[in-house]
Amino acid sequence: MSDRSEVSVAAPDGVVTAVKGGPSSRCHSCGVRHVTICGVVDDTVLKAVESISRTIGVEQGETLFVEGDPVTAVYNITRGIVRLSKMLPDGRRQITGFLFPGDFVGLGARMAYGYTAEAMTAACLCRFEKPRLDKLMREHREIEDQLLALMEKEVDLAQERMLLLGRKTAAEKVASFLMSLSERFDGAETFPVAMTRADIADYLGLTLETVSRTLSAFQRDGLISLERAHMIRLLDRTRLEDMTGT
């Protein structure tokens, strides 16, 4: 990935945010500070975090890195959504995750990235050079502990995904996906869906036709409604939760 200047970018909700230079204001005004490594440190350590990070803007569809690229940096999403994917030997795409504000990209990678990361929407990210972040963790135990907690969360999500792909029916998979999206938007009944139906299919291990049929059935049965383009409203959360199979 080439160096990018600090720019203004449009968030998924259409609000344009100016990403300004000057580390004195970046972390204090960050809307996801409380759920990332910056939320567990005092102002002195926060300055050290700011000194090794750089805020970048990426456009919709832009690639952060490609599967197999050498690991050079770790990213923390502050605005927007990032899609993770792998290519199977036969050329098919498997989406392995969707990351939201507060999530890290490339955190568990060692020598090479194990997946491709692409911006699904215009996004802002904090970029940490991997060697400098490793050094900061050695110097400040609280940051290392927080990053380990985030990696443990990734493991838990991976186990849930194994269950999602291996044991659930198509309806249970789609219901689980919708409920997980709602959770990412603080339990909202109405929320944006940046993913296409093809994205959802590649994530859930279903065909595009199956995803379309299942969403249409949910709408027909009064479980959801499509409010407008890329917006879904949950009409019967209880029935959807029952359908998740958990």
Domain co-membership, 35 together with 145: yes
Domain co-membership, 61 together with 158: yes
pLDDT at 199: 96
In this prediction, the residues of the chain whose per-residue pLDDT falls under 70 are 1-25, 246
pLDDT at 148: 82
pLDDT at 246: 64
The domain containing residue 210 runs over which residues? Answer: 168-243
Residue 2 lies in a domain: no
Residue 215 lies in a domain: yes
pLDDT at 230: 87
Q: What is the dihedral of CA 28, 34, 40, 46, to 10 degrees?
A: -20
pTM of the model: 0.82
Domain co-membership, 144 together with 29: yes
